[in-house]
Structure 1
Amino acid sequence: MAEKLLEFNRDFSDSAEECQNEKECVAELFEKLQNSNEFNILAHYLDTMFMDEVFNK
């Protein structure tokens, strides 16, 4: 999931090393989130948001 997010948000000026460092940081953040009670609530709202037609244009 972290890798997909960073690929979507990747700045073309980022070096491979910067991308790897960011991916590790985001993966750690996702791991912490998944172990929290708030994760399911957040995931639900993100799913709803990204399934909206405005994101399919």
Structure 2
Amino acid sequence: MERANRWTLAEALGHSGPRRLQHFPARAVWGNDAARDRPADWSVGHLANERPCWWDRVLP
């Protein structure tokens, strides 16, 4: 699929319409801080023990 919206994704998943895919984003309660901080915390926690990144050598 070149471009996908919820209709095309729903059809590809075998759903009759996009209602099931629209349910979560439409009714979810989002915390802006959590949406920003959780992925950042996860990536720091999982990548901290990996090889040094290029920015470790570039940034002071």
TM-score if structure 2 supplies the norm length? 0.37
- Structure having the higher Rg: 2
Identify, as 1 or 2, the structure richer in helix. Answer: 1
TM-score if structure 1 supplies the norm length? 0.38
Structure showing greater relative contact order (alpha-carbon pairs closer than 8 Å, 6 or more residues apart): 1
